[in-house]
Amino acid sequence: MIIAQLGKKELVRRLAGPGLELRTGPVVTRIQSRLPALAAGIALLYADHPVEEPEGFADFHVRIAPPRGLRRWLKAQVVFQSDGSPPFHPLPAGQAFPMLEWGLNWCVASHCHQYLILHAAVVERSGDALLLPGPPGSGKSTLCAALVSRGWRLLSDELALIDPATGSIAALARPVSLKNASIDAIRRFSPDGVLGPAVHDTLKGSVAHLKPPRDSVRRGAVPARPRWVVMPRYEEASTPRLAPLPRARAFMRLADGAFNYHMHSRKGFEMLVNLVEACSCYEFGYGELESATKTLSNLG
């Protein structure tokens, strides 16, 4: 069963009661919340995601709710809890859905150490994965959303999960987080894409989420082999520039952006060496999405 088949009434009942067991790739999360905006966001942006049996096994147990105590009477806020503990400070109530997304990223990055976890967007075509590592503001999520709208499969817009046994990348297709000017850029570039409402005045500015394609969700158990590492850099009004990047530099930049590289010790080093040796590595400056996606789609 998928979210869209539950119906609004049953979705709200599960969220408010025993919890909604949501599967995203290799992860099952039990989500509890009585907030209508959160239920609406899940219904829209997770419509194609599988729902596991109630009270079944879940990797994470999360709750989005108003804070307890005096704080709840001062102003409308929400808090994210994982296994009963809040890893973040409360946020304004209108930021409930972005908080869920940030919290789910935190859960995976903090606990899924069966993988080497890199800070990178990942898309796939014909079994080959393109990794887009980069710090905030580099344009990786915007470029990821644009590629997905042109037929690439979404694996993740934020977390590359590397399997130590095979070196392949696990799929974790969830809504793509877009910020500020990227929101309207993707609306123009992909008018058929499903975007949730923009939430303003967050710590990251204005935030909206793009629904992952149905095929990306349905193929959530299918990994991809790494083929390209492209370090994007948004440069307004520039033409696409794809320059070879030495593998040693690619290694260092990937290691700097890894969430748990140190935890894998020597194995993590070997995994990252194998990754960059298997990939063609580039730096990529771009300023316009149509030409950028065409350039990357021509990678051989």
Q: What is the pLDDT of residue 70?
A: 57
| CA dist., res. 62 & res. 85, Å (int) | 9
Q: Is the pLDDT of residue 3 over 80?
A: yes
Domain shared by 89 and 121, yes or no = no
Task: Determine the pLDDT at residue 56.
Answer: 83
User: For the chain, how many structural domains are there in total?
Assistant: 2
53 or 116, higher pLDDT: 116
Specify whether 76 is located in the same domain as 161. no
The residue-averaged pLDDT of 111-123 equals: 97
Instruction: Say how far apart CA 202 and CA 98 lie, in whole Å.
Output: 9
Burial 275-290 (b: 16+ CB within 10 A, else e): bbeebbbbbbbbbebe
Same domain (yes/no): 142, 166: yes
Kindly state whether residues 190 and 209 are assigned to the same domain: yes
The residue range of the domain holding 135 is 116-297
Q: What is the pLDDT at residue 183?
A: 97
Q: What is the signed CA dihedral for 34, 37, 39, 42, rounded to 10 degrees?
A: -140
- Of 33, 20, 109, the residue nearest 64 (C-alpha): 33
The string of pLDDT tens digits covering residues 93-109 is 999 999 999 999 999 99
Where among 111, 136, 162 does a domain terminate?
A: 111
pLDDT digits (tens, 9 = 90+) for 70-85: 555 567 899 999 999 9
Q: Note whether 236 and 90 are same-domain residues.
A: no
pLDDT tops 70 at residue 30? yes
Clarify whether residues 144 and 282 are in a common domain: yes
Cα end-to-end distance, the chain, whole Å: 38
Q: Which pLDDT score, from 0 to 100, does residue 71 have?
A: 55
Domain termination residue (choose one: 111, 140, 163): 111
Instruction: Specify whether 62 is located in the same domain as 155.
Output: no
- Based on the fold, state whether residues 227 and 171 are members of the same structural domain: yes
Residue pair 99/88 in contact by the 8 Å Cβ criterion: yes
Domain identity same for 162 and 246: yes
Shared domain check, 171 and 275:
yes
Is residue 238 located within the same domain as residue 105?
Answer: no
Q: 104-108, 162-166, 232-236, 271-275 — which is least confidently predicted?
A: 232-236
* pLDDT surpasses 80 at 14: yes
pLDDT of residue 73: 55
> Given pLDDT bands bounded at 50, 70 and 90, which one contains residue 241?
very high
Final residue belonging to a domain, choices 111, 139, 155: 111
Mark whether 228 and 153 lie in a shared domain. Answer: yes
